[in-house]
Structure 1
Amino acid sequence: MDKKRAIPEGYMTVGELAGKMGTTVRTLQYYDREGLLSPSSESEGGRRLYTYKDMIRLHQIQALKSLGFSLGDIKNRLISLDTPEEVAEALTGQAQSIREKIWQLSETLEAVEALKAEVVQMQEVDFKKYADIVVNLQLHNEYYWLIKHFDDDMLDHIRERFDQESGMDFMERFQDVCSRALVFQSQKLSPEDEQVQSLAAEFWGMVMEFTGGDMSMLPKLMEFGSLTTQQAAVNEYLQPALELYFRKCGSDPFQEVQP
């Protein structure tokens, strides 16, 4: 009883929070060490205490994690939740991420159903593309839906340049660049800002890494850049920064590949 009275009203222990949110004490301790979710207080006996606001923040983390975001991405996306406006902003971002995931899964479902129809009708099946979809589904790769938009030349290029491990590593690094771009956008940093220019250079470096310097692939990549709302927002934000970066470099590769 004394132990229970030591917990002030409106607070809960790490075990209680873990139980309410379907997670483990070890996970909450890990989030604390990583700076994602720290206890709001401590009892007289030294027990770490959480509030309902902490519970909502944990829900944010769990929701973003279920959508495939890394802990680094989640840390950049978390909002302080100190005002109703900030809570609304957090929910808006979460809703948009869910819509993106629904769209991606719908695209994958459509591709699988199309392949199934071909098999049932005994038509010719593109087993090469089918195999790509199966492998990525097994990996729970959130980018597998892109495969249906790639032509054979693009798929062959990807197979030659990347294996499963290097491909996933590239996409994780690219997602990290995009996440930082969205953070800079929310902070209203200008294209001239040193951080934005550094990010533009990193973004272009990844484009070069993907294409292997083959500028003929740029038009296709520009098409893929508009497939999701998030990527379209990243591209729109970085475009002025890239134009400034290219001017400093003395060339515009996008202009050079225009017909």
Structure 2
Amino acid sequence: MLLKIGDLARLTGLTIRTLHHYDSIGLLSPSARTQAGYRLYQHGDMDRLHRIMALRRFGLSLADIATALAGPELPLASIVARQVAMLDQQIAQAATLRDRLRTLQAQLAQGQQPALAEWLTTMELMSMYDKYFTPEELKQLPLLSDAAVEQEWQALVARVRALQATGAAPGDARAQALGTEWMVKLVRDTGAHPGLFARLNAMHAQEPSMQATTSIDAHVMEFILAAFNASRMALYQPFLDEHEYAHLVANYGKRSGEWPALIAAVRAAMDARTAHADAAVLALARQWLELFRSYAGTNPATQLKFRQAHQQEPRLMEGSFVDAAMLRYLGAAMAIVAQEKPAK
């Protein structure tokens, strides 16, 4: 059975524009065309489209999806299993929220009336947190559940905003110090769990009420990220020559947003004890190498300097959610990837 692009869009919930874009970047090209040039999709195209849609929901960029699909084929069964696991978690979170609301309903039935402002705020935060974290995960996030830690963060946010008000640039030494302090505290207050950090980032980006509650808006986050990146570049500088450092400065922050989800995926693979030769792990290793090369370049001698920097400068690991165990795990996968023949 052949499907025209309009039929495929209607049946999958995608837009025709999206399918055109997938075709234009080589992500999903139709198996056939009519004599008039109209796209026709067949049963075999559905396997690839399912992979694309699933990987998109897992948070991968289109570039990362293209990289993953270009490598050894990921078993569709394993992708579907991950989708089922994600939906199971969402169902569990919805059930928890339902139970909480039933408890609140019973209290109200007994005539217990909380203050309106407190009630509304609590319900909003409950529903918001439950969309992103299980009750067990919330216990691992003291910045959302520990009053003392929340006060620490409020003080840190106030210091950042005060520095911004002076007009200081992210490259200012004071900004770099605050950026590093911020990221180190994030590692501490998420239990060094990159998956929780990635979801915490998503919650702040997608929930305006969270930004209002914490005073951490996009402007603050952009400043902190730029300051943290500046502090990392300053640590790399002694190891690089002038040309290499200029390339680093020009490219280091361009793909920063792709690291949290990738680091979280690697940690999840480690926690699941997935073999480093597994196709999914090799795909992660390729993505890691691609991001590394985006700022380090492709010269092996220059890349070696970056690795030496990490060996000799322990501060480069601070606030990164990356540890020696993760690098060893990825190193074994990268050794396999390095032996792969480049695609023709």
TM-score for both structures, normalised by structure 2:
0.40
Distance 1:14 1:30 in 2: 12
Match of 2:28 in 1: 37
Q: Using the aligned pairs only, state the percent identity.
A: 22
Contact 1:111 1:148 in 2 (8 A): no
**Is the Cα–Cα contact under 8 Å of residues 32 and 40 in structure 2 kept in the other structure?**
yes
Q: 2:2 — aligned with what?
A: 11
Q: How does 1:35-74 map to 2 (within 5 A)?
A: 36-62=27-53, 69-70=58-59, 72=61
Whether the 8 Å contact between 1:39 and 1:54 is mirrored in structure 2 is yes
1:205 matched to 2:319? The reply is yes
Q: CA deviation at 1:63?
A: 5.6
1:151-170 equivalences in 2 (<5 Å): 151-157=146-152, 161=157, 162-163=214-215, 165-166=217-218
CA-to-partner distance for each residue in 1:1-46, whole Å, 9 max, x for gaps? xxxxxxxxx4322112123324331232234446553323333432
C-alpha offsets along residues 188-219 of structure 1, whole Å, 9 cap, x if unaligned?
5999xx85999xx9985256xxxxxxxxxxxx
Q: CA RMSD in A?
A: 5.2
Deviation at 1:55, TM superposition (A): 2.7
SS at match of 2:40: strand
Alpha-carbon distance in 2 for matches of 1:205, 1:18: 42
Q: For 1:52-201, what aligned pairs fall within 5 Å after superposition?
A: 52-62=43-53, 69-70=58-59, 72=61, 75=65, 86-121=75-110, 122=112, 131=121, 133-134=123-124, 137=127, 142-143=131-132, 145=134, 149=139, 150-157=145-152, 161=157, 162-163=214-215, 165-166=217-218, 174-179=260-265, 181=267, 186-187=280-281, 195=289
Amino acid at match of 2:319: G
Write the letter of the residue equivalent to 2:96: E
Structure 1 unaligned segments of length 5 or more: list them: 1-9, 208-234, 245-259
Aligned to 2:28, the other structure's residue is in SS state: coil
| Equivalent residue letter for 2:38 | R
Once the 2 structures are TM-superposed, how far is the Cα of residue 107 of structure 1 from its aligned partner? 3.1
Q: Secondary structure at the match of 1:49?
A: strand
Do 1:76 and 1:179's aligned partners in 2 also have CA atoms closer than 8 Å?
A: no
- 1:60-104 CA-partner distances (Å, limit 9, x unpaired): 555666xx6445288389768x98x82322221221221122223
Of structures 1 and 2, the one with the larger relative CO (CA 8 A, separation 6+) is: 2
Unaligned ranges ≥5, structure 2: 140-144, 158-213, 226-256, 271-275, 293-306, 330-344
Query: Could you tell me the TM-score, scaled by structure 1's length?
Result: 0.50
Question: Are 2:68 and 2:283, in contact at CA under 8 Å, matched by a contact in 1?
Answer: no
Match of 1:27 in 2: 18
Instruction: Work out the CA distance in 2 between the residues paired with 1:19 and 1:129.
Output: 42
Q: In the aligned structure 2, how far is the partner of 1:163 from the partner of 1:30?
A: 37
